[in-house]
């Protein structure tokens, strides 16, 4: 029977290290032609927007989608995971925490493959929900010594840094300014959208200053098809969108871990 996992179930089993391995596997599968990912679709109403990301990881045995709504009252996320061979429902997972961790994991995987091996200082803008996943992801991926965080809310920033320092074992400290966040940092976090939604890239593409053929998929670097960083003085940029296959890869591992621990509720669905 299908398994339902609530947010608390996911929190009990999902780690940044698990998410790093999952996200990296998804990008590797995509580069090898063993995955399908469909760009995000949206249905908009004046009060509520429905977002759907769908894809498949046949090499990992699953197909599925994440659906979430955004509304002034809050956001609600669900991953639906199906068996790729039979089409049967495997799990329905509340996915707010899952999405936050996998978003940070994407940055962590990119840092692992694109940053200098001796990178030790990171700068992060923001002290909110997504910033937590970002710090967890890069700290799990790299041997960092310091993460500088900048936010306009000093009280929120101080609490964030104290909490993330405890969670990661890395010194996470408030930055005095935006310039201080960047200056001396080997990594600077930036999470944007996919090629069809990349607001910072589209003007360059439209004006011909950048061409799609110049962009390299992360999976092509992971599989060795394309070179990533080739010199210490190079600057690399990773555009992170959020992809269905990332959610599915994390969900597969979360469901397996939850079943091992007897978590979740069986659903009367096939």
CATH H superfamily, domain 2-99+244-267:
ornithine cyclodeaminase, domain 1 (3.30.1780.10)
Does the pLDDT of residue 91 top 70, yes or no? Answer: yes
Mean pLDDT of 257-261: 98
Is the pLDDT at 227 greater than 90? The verdict is no
What CATH number does the domain located at 104-222 have? 3.40.50.1100
The string of DSSP letters for 135-193 reads: HHHHHHHS--SEEEEE-S-HHHHHHHHHHHHHHHSSEEEE-SSHHHHHTT-SEE-----
What are the sequence ranges of the domains in the chain? 2-99+244-267, 104-222
Is 197's pLDDT higher than 60? Answer: no
| Residue 196: per-residue pLDDT | 52
pLDDT classification of 235: cutoffs 50, 70, 90: confident
pLDDT tens profile 145-195: 999 999 889 999 999 999 999 999 999 999 999 899 999 999 987 543 475
Q: Return the pLDDT at 80.
A: 98
For the stretch 127-157, pLDDT in tens is 988 899 999 999 999 999 999 999 889 999 9
Q: From CA 232, how far away is CA 126, in angstroms rounded?
A: 27
- The percentage of the chain sitting over the pLDDT mark of 70, rounded to a whole number, equals 96
Give me the mean pLDDT over the 225-235 stretch.
80
What confidence tens digit (pLDDT) does each residue in 46-78 have? 999 999 999 999 999 999 999 999 999 999 999
What pLDDT sits at residue 192?
Answer: 38
The span from the CA of 126 to the CA of 163, in Å, is 14
Q: What is the pTM of this model?
A: 0.88
pLDDT at 200 over 70: no
CA dist 146 and 173 (Å) reads 7
Kindly report, residue by residue over 107-124, the tens digit of the pLDDT. 999 999 989 889 999 999
| Average pLDDT along the chain | 91
Query: For the residues of 90-116, what is the DSSP string, one character each?
Result: EEEEE-HHHHHHHHHHHHHHHHHHHS-
């Amino acid at each position: 029977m299908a398994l339902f996992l609530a947010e608390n179930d996911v929190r009990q089993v999902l780690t940044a290290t698990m998410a790093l391995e999952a996200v990296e596997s998804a990008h590797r599968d995509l580069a090898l032609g063993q995955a399908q990912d469909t760009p995000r679709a949206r249905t908009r109403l004046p009060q509520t927007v429905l977002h759907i990301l769908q894809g498949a990881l046949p090499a990992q045995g699953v197909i599925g989608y994440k659906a979430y709504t955004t509304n002034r009252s809050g956001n609600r996320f669900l991953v639906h995971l199906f068996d790729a061979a039979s089409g049967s429902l495997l799990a329905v997972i509340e996915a707010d925490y899952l999405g936050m961790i996998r978003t940070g994991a994407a940055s962590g995987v990119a840092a692992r493959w694109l940053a200098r091996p001796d990178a030790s200082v990171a700068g992060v803008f923001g002290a909110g929900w997504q910033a937590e996943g970002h710090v967890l992801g890069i700290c799990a991926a790299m041997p960092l010594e310091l993460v500088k965080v900048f936010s306009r809310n000093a009280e929120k920033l101080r609490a964030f840094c104290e909490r993330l320092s405890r969670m990661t074992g890395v010194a996470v400290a408030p930055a005095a300014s935006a310039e201080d966040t960047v200056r001396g940092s080997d990594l600077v976090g930036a999470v944007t959208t996919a090629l069809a939604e990349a607001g910072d890239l589209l003007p360059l593409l439209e004006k011909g200053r950048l061409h799609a053929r110049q962009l390299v998929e992360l999976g092509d670097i992971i599989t060795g098809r394309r070179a990533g960083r080739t010199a210490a003085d190079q600057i690399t940029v990773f555009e992170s969108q959020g992809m269905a296959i990332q959610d599915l890869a994390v969900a597969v591992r979360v469901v397996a871990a939850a079943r091992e621990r007897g978590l979740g509720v069986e659903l009367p669905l096939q």
